[in-house]
Amino acid sequence: MAPHNNFSDIKLAIEPNSHKNVAPSVENIENSSSARNAKEISAPSTSQDTQPLQHDYDTVLDIIGYGRTQWLMLITSGLLLMMVINETMGMSIVTIASQCDFATTSGDKAIMSAASFAGIVLFSYVWGYLSDATGRRRILLFATFGGSLCALISMFMPSFWYFVFMRFVVGCFIAGPSSTIYAFLGEFHARRHNALAMNYASLFVGLGMTYVPAIAWLVLSMDWSLQLSDSFAFRPWRLMMIVNLLPGLIAACILLMLPESPKLLLSLHKDEEALAAANWICKCNTGKDLKQLGVKKLKPERTMVDKVHITSKSCFQTVKHIWQETRPLVHRPYVLNFLLSCVTMCGLFFSSNGMGLWFPEIQNRLSMTTAENPETICQIIINTLNDRNDLTNTSKVCVDEISDKSYIDSISMGLCYVVGYLLIGGIIKLFGRKATVIGSLLLSTVCGVTLFWLRNPTAIVVSFIVFLTLPGLCISLLGSGVVELVPTHLCGKAVCICLLLGRSGSIFGSHLIGVLLESNCYLTFGIFTGYVLVCMLLTMTLPI
């Protein structure tokens, strides 16, 4: 998912001029051999004094070495990814805890869960473009603080639709870290460390999936209500949203200390600022200046994209430039593989995040069943729906409690993500990326099919978690594969569009469950399982 950077060789800006303007004359021929040698030796040294050494930025990172800066970047990037997870997947618990306050139906819960994803889908490409044009650090700071402020405001929204609107605005802001953080992280790492850095940053996704239910279990176990007005009560689920903000705020505070990406500054023709930023990295890692390591100047990086940043003066021109840069992706020879990748990415998000948003809700229903004989997951859902309707028609009592088992199951799924990211590197080395994706999706499909007839509660939970986790782990693998399907100058845009369309799959999947789960549970699980199988078949055709 991260852009790959090209390495250049170290080039010394030394041009020997010893033989320039030396005419073959009798006087030169008559000169002694020692005089000629002295002349040839002195010329290069003069050139070296007048023109400083230029080092490629990636080579400078190799000279500086891995150190405190890279660890700070890794932690910051991971915390920002946790913020994105907290503000999107965290809604899966908020929808249950707030159902009495907002009197929501299953369709309303789907809208509430998808609101943040809708904002991310609409603004991801915009933030990505702005980060290329104005700076990644600036965009990350603005988007993180803006998203945190909007999330804070959303806690006090008294009605359902006001709350949904604010969650949409939160999604518009957190689209910045979502689309920018991998590029920012990669530009502070040497190429040989890039893949490992991205993998460890992705670990924080699993930590976020664990953090949300763990914090919810702690906060929602409290039984209190602060009545601020006749129509508004501040209850524990609103307090939980404050705790979900903490990783993003911590990351933003660390960002205030970090410099802008030197690589991006070079592409924006800000060579002196780039050198100062690289010198900051050097001091942080080694305690020395770049000059002490023999680096006096960074080699400029000029790309075709730079012209867009400089010449764009209106919104129309900006949109036109964006389209001109993106258009090659929908033409030969890239269009077929790119479209297949987009459809596959959409399916991965559709299954892992679309149904993942409903995992706590479904598990909460499973834990509340009182059936004496073991039943399948769909039988339990249908029975709990009938029981709830009977209760509503007789006593009009709303229940928004979440069982301990639901929290435990959600934490287990988060830990599965963590373990999966830890193991996936070694698995890829053994079987290759393509085989790993195909095998993971095949196993996910098998688990999805077994949910139709499994009756043991433990087996249902294990199968359900594997069914959701494996497609989620394949998202980063497919993203790294997309990078290799297109040229370097298109890979960033290709991955961004793939992820954008993938998150639209999350919205569609969440809405589909809200509409179909209670009316036709078997069809719902059949659609999700079938799409995972389609993703596996499409991956077999991709040259990744």
What is the residue extent of each domain of the chain?
A: 52-311, 324-544
d(CA 350, CA 93): 19
pLDDT confidence of 315, banded at 50, 70, 90?
A: low
ω before 333 within 30° of 0 (cis)? yes
Taking every pair of Cα atoms in the chain, the longest distance, rounded to a whole number of angstroms, is 118
Find all residues with CB under 8 Å of 129, minimum gap 6, and list them: 318, 322
Q: Which of 229 and 280 is assigned the larger pLDDT?
A: 280
The DSSP string of 70-118 is HHHHHHHHHHHHHHHHHHHTTHHHHHHHTHHHHT--HHHHHHHHHHHHH
Which pLDDT does position 370 carry in this prediction?
A: 57
Burial class (CB in 10 A: 0-12, 13-18, 19+), 397: exposed
Which pLDDT does position 371 carry in this prediction?
A: 54
Which pLDDT does position 53 carry in this prediction?
A: 64
Query: Taking 70 as the threshold, does the pLDDT of residue 439 lie above it?
Result: yes
For residue 369 the two structure tokens come to 């069943």
Which pLDDT does position 366 carry in this prediction?
A: 82
Query: Taking 70 as the threshold, does the pLDDT of residue 359 lie above it?
Result: yes
pTM of the model: 0.79
Percent of the chain with pLDDT over 90: 40
Query: Taking 50 as the threshold, does the pLDDT of residue 42 lie above it?
Result: no
pLDDT confidence of 237, banded at 50, 70, 90?
A: very high
**Span 505-527, pLDDT tens digits:** 999 998 899 888 878 889 999 99
Percent of the chain with pLDDT over 70: 83
Which pLDDT does position 369 carry in this prediction?
A: 66
Which pLDDT does position 387 carry in this prediction?
A: 55
CATH number for the domain whose boundaries are 52-311: 1.20.1250.20
Which pLDDT does position 73 carry in this prediction?
A: 93
Residue 55 β-bridge partners:
298
d(CA 515, CA 6): 47
* CA 532 from centroid of its chain's CA atoms: 21
d(CA 463, CA 467): 6
**Span 120-154, pLDDT tens digits:** 988 888 887 788 778 889 999 999 999 999 999 99
Which pLDDT does position 396 carry in this prediction?
A: 52
Query: Taking 90 as the threshold, does the pLDDT of residue 368 lie above it?
Result: no
d(CA 36, CA 45): 15
Query: Taking 80 as the threshold, does the pLDDT of residue 215 lie above it?
Result: yes
pLDDT confidence of 24, banded at 50, 70, 90?
A: very low
Which pLDDT does position 30 carry in this prediction?
A: 39
Query: Taking 90 as the threshold, does the pLDDT of residue 168 lie above it?
Result: yes
The CATH architecture annotation of domain 324-544 reads: Up-down Bundle (1.20)
Which pLDDT does position 180 carry in this prediction?
A: 84
pLDDT confidence of 3, banded at 50, 70, 90?
A: very low
Q: Which of 360 and 319 is assigned the larger pLDDT?
A: 360
Averaged pLDDT, 233-256: 92
Residue type, 464: F
ω before 158 within 30° of 0 (cis)? no
Query: Taking 90 as the threshold, does the pLDDT of residue 530 lie above it?
Result: yes
pLDDT confidence of 488, banded at 50, 70, 90?
A: low
Query: Taking 70 as the threshold, does the pLDDT of residue 397 lie above it?
Result: no
**Span 444-485, pLDDT tens digits:** 999 999 999 998 888 999 999 999 999 999 988 888 788 778
Q: Are 172 and 121 in contact (CB under 8 A)?
A: no
Query: Taking 50 as the threshold, does the pLDDT of residue 348 lie above it?
Result: yes
User: Mean pLDDT over all residues of the chain?
Assistant: 81
Query: Taking 60 as the threshold, does the pLDDT of residue 31 lie above it?
Result: no
Query: Taking 70 as the threshold, does the pLDDT of residue 261 lie above it?
Result: yes
Q: Terminal CA-to-CA distance of the chain, rounded, Å?
A: 14
Domain 52-311 and domain 324-544 have a common topology: yes
Q: Are 97 and 361 in contact (CB under 8 A)?
A: no
Which uninterrupted H or E stretch holds 298? strand 297-298
Which pLDDT does position 154 carry in this prediction?
A: 93
pLDDT confidence of 301, banded at 50, 70, 90?
A: low
For residue 306 the two structure tokens come to 């730079």
Local structure of 233: helix, strand or coil: strand
Which pLDDT does position 432 carry in this prediction?
A: 86
Q: Which of 369 and 10 is assigned the larger pLDDT?
A: 369
Query: Taking 60 as the threshold, does the pLDDT of residue 230 lie above it?
Result: yes
For residue 132 the two structure tokens come to 């290329």
Which pLDDT does position 21 carry in this prediction?
A: 39
Averaged pLDDT, 262-278: 88
In 3D space, the residue among 512, 511, 483 whose CA is nearest the CA of residue 497 turns out to be: 483
**CB burial string 325-343: b at 16+ within 10 A, e below:** beebbeeeebeebbeebbb
CB atoms under 10 Å from CB of 399, counted, come to: 11
For residue 385 the two structure tokens come to 């729906």
pLDDT confidence of 161, banded at 50, 70, 90?
A: very high
Tokens 């209760």 -> residue:
391
Residue type, 183: A
Averaged pLDDT, 158-170: 94
d(CA 15, CA 229): 78
Query: Taking 80 as the threshold, does the pLDDT of residue 278 lie above it?
Result: yes
pLDDT confidence of 402, banded at 50, 70, 90?
A: confident
Averaged pLDDT, 404-418: 92
Which uninterrupted H or E stretch holds 412? helix 404-431
Local structure of 54: helix, strand or coil: strand
